[in-house]
């Protein structure tokens, strides 16, 4: 299992290395456009409200034998849950992975959705589905109405491309599958804040639990000299934000999933290495005990034989 985890870890590290520059550049472009939005209407994904309803997205694994990987992230999510409740917030959960689902279900948490089997076939499309689900919960479905404005033949199609235009029409179909069924009707969808709770990969022996805000999006501050440059936006700043903001959320979800995958494999590789060392030490100790017991038994038998021979001589 150690060798298998090591091979999978190498692939996960490569995926993270390739994605991180893209995620950073996406935030740079997003921050640049958002800083020039001026007094226009605030985009739903940028709107900041008093966090009375908060959702925690917990990223765990479906399998164990990974040391403290799942325990650490579940503990961080639990502490954040109680902290938010103490501040008067209503907290709900969306949990990725069986371990996290079982942990919070046993503690009576309000679990809106749980996703299992995500890491068996992790892809950009899979992460995009989860990202769109989170956006739908945060905006009470409002962002789907925004996407519906982009129809084939629209002049804005020059910027979006045919694939992006038709993607909005398939969101409802994609999210109606068995693994991504709509949330229960009795659960109110609109939220004030969404947090990601996951293990950030540092190295094979080091993973840090991160609790970071996902929604509303907080763009990075752009340098003052950069904001003085005037750009022509086609079709509009709002149209750009309508595409960039959901893209950023999906990218962040994908990045967090990759971080979690790499952390899981690193933790499992370390756990299996420690288990192998502990087993070897235990074998050595048991072998020593066996040899001592065997030597003592042989010595006892020799003493009995010698004692019997001496008795016969006497």
Q: What is the mean pLDDT of residues 186-202?
A: 79
Q: What is the mean pLDDT of residues 38-67?
A: 82
Nearest-angstrom CA–CA distance, 80 and 57: 11
Domain limits, the chain: 2-268
Residue 161, pLDDT above cutoff 70: no
Query: What's the angle, vertex CA 242, arms to CA 239 and CA 244, rounded to 5?
Result: 105
* Phi, psi dihedrals of residue 305, rounded to the nearest 5°: -65, -45
Nearest-angstrom CA–CA distance, 238 and 170: 22
pLDDT band at 177 (very low <50, low <70, confident <90, very high): very low
* Cβ atoms 26, 34 nearer than 8 A: no
**Most confident stretch, 33-37, 95-99, 115-119, 146-150:** 95-99
pTM above 0.75, yes or no: no
Nearest of 246, 267, 240 to residue 70 by alpha carbon: 267
DSSP string, 46-62: T-----SEEEEEEE--S
Tell the CATH topology of 2-268: Pyruvate Kinase; Chain: A, domain 1 (3.40.1380)
- According to DSSP, residue 153 is labeled T
Token code pair at residue 163: 């694939």
Nearest-angstrom CA–CA distance, 96 and 197: 10
Comparison of pLDDT for 269 and 141, the residue scoring more: 269
Nearest of 127, 143, 137, 112 to residue 246 by alpha carbon: 143
Token code pair at residue 314: 């006497």
pLDDT at 187: 44
The pLDDT tens digits for 28-47 are 777 777 666 655 567 788 87
The continuous run of DSSP H or E covering 253 comes out as helix 237-313
pLDDT at 154: 42
- Helices 69-86 and 98-106: angle between axes, nearest 10 degrees: 40
The pLDDT tens digits for 18-31 are 777 777 777 777 77
pLDDT band at 144 (very low <50, low <70, confident <90, very high): very low
Token code pair at residue 222: 């752009």
* Cβ atoms 70, 97 nearer than 8 A: yes
* Cβ atoms 132, 176 nearer than 8 A: no
The continuous run of DSSP H or E covering 169 comes out as helix 162-174
């Amino acid at each position: 299992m150690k060798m298998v985890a090591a091979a999978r870890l190498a692939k996960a590290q490569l995926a993270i290395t390739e994605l991180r520059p893209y995620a950073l550049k996406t935030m740079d472009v997003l921050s640049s456009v958002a800083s020039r939005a001026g007094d226009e209407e605030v985009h739903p994904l940028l709107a900041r409200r008093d966090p009375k309803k908060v959702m925690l997205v917990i990223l765990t694994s479906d399998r164990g034998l990974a040391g403290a990987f799942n325990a650490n992230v579940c503990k961080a999510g639990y502490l954040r849950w109680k902290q938010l409740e103490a501040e008067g917030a209503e907290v709900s959960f969306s949990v990725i992975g069986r371990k996290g689902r079982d942990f919070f279900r046993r503690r009576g948490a309000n679990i809106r959705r749980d996703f299992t089997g995500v890491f068996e076939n992790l892809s950009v499309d899979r992460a995009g589905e989860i990202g769109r689900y989170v956006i739908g919960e945060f905006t009470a479905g409002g962002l789907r109405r925004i996407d519906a404005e982009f129809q084939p033949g629209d002049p804005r199609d020059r910027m979006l491309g045919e694939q992006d235009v038709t993607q909005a029409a398939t969101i409802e179909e994609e999210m109606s599958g068995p693994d991504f069924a709509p949330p229960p009707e009795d659960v109110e969808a609109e939220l004030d804040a969404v947090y990601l709770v996951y293990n950030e990969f540092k190295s094979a022996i080091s993973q840090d639990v991160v609790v970071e805000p996902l929604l509303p999006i907080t763009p990075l501050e752009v340098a003052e000299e950069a904001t003085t440059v005037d750009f022509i936006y086609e079709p509009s700043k709002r149209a750009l934000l309508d595409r960039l903001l959901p893209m950023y959320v999906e990218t962040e979800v994908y990045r967090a999933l990759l971080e979690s995958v790499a952390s899981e494999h690193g933790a499992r590789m370390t756990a299996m290495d420690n288990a192998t060392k502990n087993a070897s030490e235990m074998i050595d100790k048991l072998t020593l005990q066996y040899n001592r017991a065997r030597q003592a038994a042989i010595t006892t038998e020799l003493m009995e034989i010698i004692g019997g021979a001496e008795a016969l001589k006497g």
